[in-house]
Amino acid sequence: MRQDWFDRARFGMFVHFGLYSGAARHEWVQNYERLTDADYRQYFDHFEPDLFDARAIARRARETGMGYVVLTTKHHEGFCLWDSAHTDFTATTACGRDLVREFVDAVRAEGLKVGLYHSLIDWHHPDFTVDWNHPRRDDDEAAALNDGRDMARYRAYLHGQVRELLTGYGDIDYLFFDFTYPEQKDGWQGKGPEDWDSESLLAMCRELQPGMLVNDRLGIPADFVTPEQYQPTSPLTLDGAPVAWEACQTLNGSWGYDRDNTDQKPATLLVQMLADSVSMDGNMLLNIGPDGRGAIAPRDEATLGEIGEWMRLHSAAVVGAGHAPFEPPREGVYTRRGDRLYLHLFTWPLGHVHLPHLAGRVSYARLLNDGSWLRTTDADPEQVASNMTPAGEAAGTLTVHLPVRRPDVLVPVIELTLAGE
Ligand code: GLC
């Protein structure tokens, strides 16, 4: 039951916002550039999110066809976007605002599900031990930095802050913990479930928010798995059984605002990734990184606008849809919702698309973007191809006849009504 809305939504928005947004060089800038707390303090002192508008973000998510929105409450930098009693390294201290409060109120007002991201990692906390991910790992005498650091104190802080988030902001529908790295590297320890006391943390989540989905990055099994920045190639399973999964993806490779990044993905690719994920019973969580003032970057607004226009016409092929047990043609992927089968065409063929094993099983075909009928014919094994007439498709093949001009949409979709379903 917990995940019915998740399975139906299929498409969500990830929002990475923090001090790194003002640094504008990726959310791992503190790690990449080995920045000290003193180096990093300027981003706290000049944190001025005057253009952070949670209502605009939530509205953009809804207009993009997304069913849920997930905000970073605290990223690896340790900066908290809510009014935490456990630290003054917060947005409330920096600018007098509780951005998590603004966010949850805005997302609910748009009728969307509320998701929070919370980093297990904390490069600011004095008791979080230096490890192979820590910005101080290459300092002279780095190992000595751990003298006096007590992960038990950090665990108490971590659990206390999660408790604040799960008791102070109403019903939370989804929690994305990030991340566990138990392997050793470069002579340093990693951090595994025991470092977080993941079992107790998950138990607290279940106690405080029984309906909330929790991801797999506590390092112990929970509600869904989280491939990141790649596309699976088949429905994901765990011990042979289907598992709920969500691929989180960026617009340009960076989660946090990265001003000089030019790797913006084309909207067509992103829609293909969405359709591909749904075709494998998965979700896509697509990220935006608001800039140093909290605004959605114009390039991201433009991409989301293109996707939103596609979803305006094609959401039926995504929302409430999932894997279809049919062999797709080479030109695309299928999704299915009830008696409707949707063929997402990643390439536009000349004149026809041939669908294996669907002859006699389709009562109507149309282009979804404009509802225009499409002629279909069942393969006739007796018919021989000639110079001007294609034939010879395998018995059971359904051929859909297509206009030469590809519809002017990011990804054309053919909707097939399955007969007798
Ligand atoms: C990785 C990155 C982190 C990002 C997360 C999103 O864990 O380290 O910066 O927030 O992916 O899933």
Cα–ligand 1 centroid distance for 226 (angstroms): 11
Q: What angle do CA 64, 74, 229 make, to 5 degrees?
A: 50
Assign residue 282 a region (left: φ > 0; alpha: ψ between -120 and 50; beta: otherwise): beta
The answer on 349 and 302 residing in a single domain is no
Point out the ligand 1 atom lying closest to the alpha carbon of residue 76.
9
The answer on 272 and 201 residing in a single domain is yes
Tokens standing for residue 364:
């109507």
Whether 254 is covered by a domain: the verdict is: yes
**Residue 265 sits in which domain range?**
4-315
Whether 324 is covered by a domain: the verdict is: no
Q: How far apart are CA 414 and CA 395, in angstroms?
A: 21
The answer on 344 and 309 residing in a single domain is no
| Final residue of a structural domain among 255, 286, 315 | 315
User: Which of 14, 118, 178, 191 should be mutated for ligand 1, with most atoms under 8 A from CB?
Assistant: 178
Q: Is 178 in the pocket of ligand 1 (CB under 6 A)?
A: yes
Q: Is 255 in the pocket of ligand 1 (CB under 6 A)?
A: yes
Q: Is 20 in the pocket of ligand 1 (CB under 6 A)?
A: no
Q: Is 158 in the pocket of ligand 1 (CB under 6 A)?
A: no
Which pLDDT tens digit goes with each residue over 86-121?
Answer: 999 999 999 999 999 999 999 999 999 999 999 999
pLDDT band at residue 389, thresholds of 50, 70 and 90? confident
Q: Which of 269, 271, 274, 270 is nearest to 284 (CA)?
A: 274
Q: Is 224 in the pocket of ligand 1 (CB under 6 A)?
A: no
pTM higher than 0.85, yes or no?
yes
Q: How far apart are CA 291 and CA 358, in angstroms?
A: 49
Q: Is 89 in the pocket of ligand 1 (CB under 6 A)?
A: no
Whether 31 is covered by a domain: the verdict is: yes
The answer on 360 and 293 residing in a single domain is no
Point out the ligand 1 atom lying closest to the alpha carbon of residue 27.
9
Q: What angle do CA 57, 120, 237 make, to 5 degrees?
A: 80
Q: Is 349 helix (H, G, I), strand (E, B) or coil?
A: coil
| Final residue of a structural domain among 315, 342, 365 | 315
Point out the ligand 1 atom lying closest to the alpha carbon of residue 228.
12
The answer on 219 and 104 residing in a single domain is yes
- Distances in Å between the Cα of 142 and the Cα atoms of 130, 133, 134, 137, 295 are 8, 13, 10, 6, 37
Q: Is 286 in the pocket of ligand 1 (CB under 6 A)?
A: no
The answer on 346 and 203 residing in a single domain is no
**Where residue 130 sits, what CATH number does that domain have?**
3.20.20.80
The answer on 341 and 279 residing in a single domain is no
Cα–ligand 1 centroid distance for 179 (angstroms): 8
Q: Which residue, by CA, sits nearest to atom 4 of ligand 1?
A: 255
User: Which of 21, 119, 179, 254 should be mutated for ligand 1, with most atoms under 8 A from CB?
Assistant: 179
Which DSSP symbol is given to 51?
Answer: T
Q: Is 29 in the pocket of ligand 1 (CB under 6 A)?
A: no
Whether 123 is covered by a domain: the verdict is: yes
Mean pLDDT along residues 264-286: 98
**Where residue 373 sits, what CATH number does that domain have?**
2.60.40.1180
Cα–ligand 1 centroid distance for 178 (angstroms): 7
Question: 11 and 319 in contact (C-beta within 8 Å)?
Answer: yes
Tell me if the bond preceding 44 is cis, omega within 30° of 0: no
Strands 282-288 and 245-249 come out as: parallel
Sequential DSSP letters for 125-165: -TTSPP-TTSTTTTSTTGGGGGTT--HHHHHHHHHHHHHHH
Which pLDDT tens digit goes with each residue over 44-81?
Answer: 999 999 999 999 999 999 999 999 999 999 999 999 99
Q: Examine the pLDDT at 267 and tell me if it is beyond 80.
A: yes
Cα–ligand 1 centroid distance for 255 (angstroms): 7
The answer on 189 and 87 residing in a single domain is yes
Q: Is 258 in the pocket of ligand 1 (CB under 6 A)?
A: no
pLDDT band at residue 391, thresholds of 50, 70 and 90? confident
Point out the ligand 1 atom lying closest to the alpha carbon of residue 119.
10
The answer on 337 and 309 residing in a single domain is no
Whether 326 is covered by a domain: the verdict is: no
Tokens standing for residue 295:
């605004």
Cα–ligand 1 centroid distance for 250 (angstroms): 10
Average pLDDT value over all residues in the chain: 96
Cα–ligand 1 centroid distance for 228 (angstroms): 8
Whether 327 is covered by a domain: the verdict is: no
The answer on 296 and 362 residing in a single domain is no
The answer on 280 and 212 residing in a single domain is yes
Q: How far apart are CA 273 and CA 111, in angstroms?
A: 25
| Final residue of a structural domain among 315, 344, 361 | 315
Q: How many domains does the chain have?
A: 2
Cα–ligand 1 centroid distance for 71 (angstroms): 12
Q: Which pLDDT does position 52 carry in this prediction?
A: 98
Whether 129 is covered by a domain: the verdict is: yes
The answer on 43 and 165 residing in a single domain is yes
Whether 346 is covered by a domain: the verdict is: yes
pLDDT band at residue 312, thresholds of 50, 70 and 90? very high
